[in-house]
Amino acid sequence: MAEKLSRMYGTEEDKVNCPFYFKIGACRYENKCLRIHNRPSESQTILIKHMYQNSPTELALAQGNRVSEEEAQKALNHYEEFYEEVFLELASYGEIDDLIICDNIGDHMKGNVYVKYVRESEALKCLMSLKTRYYDKQQLQPEFSPVTDFSNAKCKQYIEGQCKRSGYCNYIHSKPIGRPFRRSLFRQMYEEHPEYKNRSRSRSRSDDDDRSKKKRKEKERSEKHEKDSKKRHSRSRSSHKKHKKDKDKKKKKSRSHSKHSKSASPGYKNSEERRAEIAKWGEDDDEEDMKVNASGLVNNNGTTNNNEQSDSNNKQGTHDYLAQLVKPQN
């Protein structure tokens, strides 16, 4: 009996525990769900709800609308800048195993950010710190997530480009990120925190299993997508660099002595510049926020300003987004 119950746990057959919360860490019924959301008291994974603000172009793409190549490129830059900034800041709490940004646009998943650490103690450190922090004028909403194996949480149809629910799918549609770009962020993390690499790894067995399974899957997927990714990345980096260059011109800071300059591409901010940007995450935003609100300039209820409410069931989904980012439109 006990065995049967444990087999059913978190599946559709389980009438007590919510399978969506168990698998994805998010359920569209949220607190009104009739099944139990078993919130973990510790985990390697932190979910930061609604942290990423999709640009109007990304929302349009997630709903299957077409946009120009230029707009798609801008959206990609917007996303990559966010990914880089957040990755490197979250890495200051501990060694990151994975960082995922949802491409979903349903109310319970829009802009959700999952960060999985190698160690639970580091996830705890991250959670405690983020609770009092702001990003983009919104207080962060971090929580421990039950999800430690993203392969079960991600939408398989989306990966194959066939999800009919597009952005409104209840499984994770992980926004794609170029592999070389991602690799360069991991490299930067280990450069800034050599202690992550050097210390002895005291992973649990399940972590190891999880990791090797994930690596195998990633390898399979990467072989399939490597070409596309390379193409997209080389385009995106060059424009990314240009964008950063414009920004950096203003700062006129020499980065010749930066320890990153050797390995990172010239477009990267050095750590001082980044710290300056990250300082904006601080509590001061609270005050700033109130000032801005008082002047009536900003709607700060956590919603974005455009058409996310429109009904979806578009046949062309987020995969078009990929396709459009990869292939120039004619």
Which stretches of the chain bind Zn ion, using CB under 5 A?
Answer: 18, 21, 27, 29, 33, 155, 158, 163, 169, 171
Q: Are 239 and 70 in contact (CB under 8 A)?
A: no
Answer for the pair 236, 73: CB distance below 8 angstroms, yes or no. yes
Residue/partner pairs of 190-197 with CB below 8 Å, 24 or more apart: 191/259, 191/260, 191/263, 192/88, 192/91, 192/92, 192/271, 193/91, 193/92, 193/95, 196/94, 196/95, 196/118
Helices 69-90/179-192 angle, 10° precision? 20
Calpha distance 193→307 (Å, rounded): 41
- The minimum distance between CB 216 and Zn ion, in angstroms, equals 22
Q: Which pair of tokens denotes residue 6?
A: 């444990």
Other beta carbons within 10 Å of 107: 13
Q: How far is the CB of 253 from Zn ion (least distance, A)?
A: 43
Minimum distance from residue 159 beta carbon to Zn ion (Å): 9
Instruction: Please state, in angstroms and as integers, the Cα–Cα distance from residue 207 to each residue in 25, 49, 144, 158, 235, following that order.
Output: 18, 24, 16, 26, 35
Q: Where are the beta strands (DSSP E) in 102-184?
A: 113-117, 134-135, 138-139, 142-145
* Tokens standing for residue 206: 């399940």
CB of residue 317 vs Zn ion: minimum separation in angstroms? 7
Give the nearest distance from C-beta 64 to Zn ion in angstroms.
13
Q: Which of residues 27 and 189 has its CB atom nearest to Zn ion in the complex?
A: 27
Q: Pick the closer one to Zn ion by CB: 94 or 176.
A: 176
150 or 171: CB nearest Zn ion: 171
Bridge partners of 73, per DSSP, are none
d(CA 158, CA 102): 12
* Nearer of residues 22 and 268 to Zn ion, judged by Cβ: 22
CB 178 to Zn ion: min, Å? 21
Q: How far apart are CB 12 and Zn ion at their closest, in Å?
A: 12
As measured in angstroms, the least distance from the Cβ of 219 to Zn ion is 23
CA 319, 84, 22: angle at the middle one, nearest 5? 60
Residue 30 or 209 with smaller CB distance to Zn ion: 30
- Burial class of residue 315, CB neighbours in 10 A (0-12, 13-18, 19+): exposed
Closer to Zn ion by Cβ: residue 224 or 242:
224
Distances (CA, A) of 20 to 27, 38, 158, 281, 330: 5, 11, 17, 31, 40
Residue (13 or 272) nearer to Zn ion, CB: 13
Q: Which is closer to Zn ion, CB of 173 or CB of 244?
A: 173
